[in-house]
Chains A and B, each alone.
Chain A
């Protein structure tokens, strides 16, 4: 997987752009995401159904993974089963 890869959820409408990643499995709704969508949507895990938000960046605790949500959906994002969290930077004043 390389930065810039666009991954689609197997369970919902979620799509992410990979900004940074390691070798783990990037998942949405508990199911590994892929560059194409499966013909039939899989069932999301109840533990990973909090949704994804458009334009939010999702990171892991170690800072090895960063995903940009480019299409929102019902499944939530995780890596190897560990939920990712939104990266909340202090908003900067518009400078240009």
Chain B
């Protein structure tokens, strides 16, 4: 089965319904499908082994995703924010590719590799204008639909591959066909090279929920577009939600009463932000989604009712659920395992393992799946007694001090209870005595005095135990995050080392 089936079905059931709004231009499902079919002609003529996008979100992302699918060539959106040297390496790995977007950059970085480049407008015009032979047959969809390079924090980026079957089982298992009302619209503002940016296109098209694309995020333009298009659904990363709230708090007015549902994910949501959001948008349903590239997006979610229940509860256990990522999808299994591969007891942290048809767990180089199909996520976490999943950082982020494993999350959570601390990160620092020890970088709240180091150490000693007390404390004006709101712990380590 081919992922293009999703667009074919929407075009069959509602040909003239608007499926996409981008830069003021409106695209019906049948127009999008015709352009995707036209793109197949361009892709085949190029002889490319990959179809890449080196560009912000636009209609070209939809046309290239489904066009590549129909042509049976992996779609490989690239992170245009990468430094030249890193991007050059990736361009060489996908050669020869048909590349849409920044033509000049491809020519500068990967010349003579056989790439065929198109500026965005030329690709779209070429796809619309292509002559498609009558009765043409398309790829069956047994192979790779999407190839995404991981961010590669520890080594060269890995090429994660998602097969048509992985992505389709995710969409068919979680989205009701044509389940959206005609007035529904989803504001999509995730970079096209992120799994959430790809799954947003597929799930909205299958639900027949109009996609409203915002290629570059700014809180004012997000609010303006949400109001103008009567947006009902939106996905945000934590930083985006924080900036939207901040803008509203500063008196910017926008009528976004249509906004029924906000989902979020991609990085850890600070508790105070989600609490403020629940107060500011009392009739909006919030959904926290947890997933990875290798799992075709969401594998667990905390739904709107659970958010309100947790927020309104006096029971500390129920309130704590606001910090959880919810329960696994009905189509997915999740287990927590210790270092020896045994299942952890309830409440005990270990590595999160995931299994299900949507889970690829596969890289171009090799599959990471266990013999019985489980994917070790390298994320650390635990399940509570009712099966709610809590994340406690990357398994690789665990600080091992004299053989004792410590999760940075627990130290950070304690630091954030200090009234003068706005943000905090705990990482491993080298220690002659212990192998590794705890180092913390903290951001002091605006206008507050810097608390003495001894006070922070005592806070951790009192709430956790002495082994968690940091050897080194650094005060910084802000912590490094990537555009998805993920804390860049490697950079924190560098800060602490200097």
B116 close to A (CB within 8 Å): no
A96 close to B (CB within 8 Å): yes
Q: Chain A nearest CB: distance from B314 CB in Å?
A: 25
Partner of A94, one of B5, B178, B263: B263
Contact A3 B1 (CB under 8 A): yes
Contact A95 B263 (CB under 8 A): yes
Closest A residue to B297 using CB positions: A96
- A55, B178: Cα distance in complex, Å: 8
- A19, B173: Cα distance in complex, Å: 11
B468 close to A (CB within 8 Å): no
By a CB distance below 8 angstroms, the chain B residues around A90 are 330
Map CB proximity to B onto A55-96 as digits: 1 under 8 Å, 0 otherwise: 111000000000010110000000000000000011111111
Contact A94 B330 (CB under 8 A): no
Q: Chain B nearest CB: distance from A80 CB in Å?
A: 24
Q: Chain A nearest CB: distance from B211 CB in Å?
A: 12
Contact A4 B142 (CB under 8 A): yes
Contact A93 B1 (CB under 8 A): no
The B277-335 residues at the A interface (CB cut-off 8 A) are 285, 287, 289, 291, 297-298, 301, 303-304, 329-330
Q: Chain B nearest CB: distance from A77 CB in Å?
A: 16
Partner of A91, one of B176, B233, B263, B287: B176
- A18, B320: Cα distance in complex, Å: 43
Residues of A within 8 A of B (CB): 3-4, 17, 19, 54-57, 68, 70-71, 89-96
By a CB distance below 8 angstroms, the chain B residues around A19 are 1, 172
Partner of B289, one of A56, A68, A89, A96: A96
Name the prevailing secondary structure of the B interface residues: mixed
Among A4, A57, A92, A94, the most chain B Cβ lie within 10 Å of the Cβ of A94
Q: Chain B nearest CB: distance from A66 CB in Å?
A: 9
In the complex with contacts A4-B1, A17-B5, A93-B287 CB distance below 8 A: yes
B174 close to A (CB within 8 Å): yes
In the complex with contacts A70-B9, A70-B12, A96-B196, A91-B172 CB distance below 8 A: no
By a CB distance below 8 angstroms, the chain A residues around B289 are 95-96
B265 close to A (CB within 8 Å): yes
By a CB distance below 8 angstroms, the chain B residues around A56 are 177
Closest B residue to A4 using CB positions: B1
B179 close to A (CB within 8 Å): yes
Contact A94 B172 (CB under 8 A): no
Contact A54 B172 (CB under 8 A): no
Map CB proximity to A onto B7-39 as digits: 1 under 8 Å, 0 otherwise: 011001100000000000000000000000000
B186 close to A (CB within 8 Å): yes
In the complex with contacts A4-B142, A54-B177, A68-B172, A94-B287 CB distance below 8 A: yes
Contact A94 B1 (CB under 8 A): no
Residues of B within 8 A of A (CB): 1, 5, 8-9, 12-13, 140-142, 165, 172-179, 186, 190, 196, 199-200, 203-204, 207, 209, 233, 235, 261, 263, 265, 285, 287, 289, 291, 297-298, 301, 303-304, 329-330
Q: Chain A nearest CB: distance from B259 CB in Å?
A: 12
Contact A93 B235 (CB under 8 A): no
Contact B12 A71 (CB under 8 A): yes
Q: Chain A nearest CB: distance from B458 CB in Å?
A: 41
- A94, B199: Cα distance in complex, Å: 11
Q: Chain B nearest CB: distance from A3 CB in Å?
A: 7
Contact A95 B141 (CB under 8 A): no
Q: Chain B nearest CB: distance from A89 CB in Å?
A: 7
Contact A93 B5 (CB under 8 A): no
Contact B174 A92 (CB under 8 A): yes
Q: Chain B nearest CB: distance from A93 CB in Å?
A: 4
Closest A residue to B300 using CB positions: A95
In the complex with contacts A54-B9, A96-B196, A96-B297, A89-B287 CB distance below 8 A: no
Can you list 12 residue pairs at the A/B interface with Cβ under 8 Å? A55-B13, A70-B9, A90-B330, A92-B303, A93-B304, A94-B175, A94-B209, A95-B291, A95-B297, A96-B196, A96-B265, A96-B291
- A4, B169: Cα distance in complex, Å: 12
By a CB distance below 8 angstroms, the chain A residues around B285 are 93
Contact A95 B207 (CB under 8 A): no
Extra contacts besides A95-B263, A96-B263, A96-B289 (5): CB < 8 Å: A4-B142, A56-B177, A94-B203, A94-B261, A95-B289
Contact B174 A95 (CB under 8 A): yes
Closest B residue to A90 using CB positions: B330
- A85, B37: Cα distance in complex, Å: 34
By a CB distance below 8 angstroms, the chain B residues around A54 are 9, 12-13, 177-178
Contact B186 A94 (CB under 8 A): yes
In the complex with contacts A54-B177, A68-B172, A94-B12 CB distance below 8 A: no
- A7, B39: Cα distance in complex, Å: 27
- A92, B329: Cα distance in complex, Å: 9
Q: Chain B nearest CB: distance from A4 CB in Å?
A: 4
- A44, B190: Cα distance in complex, Å: 48
Q: Chain A nearest CB: distance from B180 CB in Å?
A: 9
Q: Chain A nearest CB: distance from B1 CB in Å?
A: 4
- A26, B351: Cα distance in complex, Å: 43
By a CB distance below 8 angstroms, the chain A residues around B200 are 96
Q: Chain B nearest CB: distance from A54 CB in Å?
A: 6
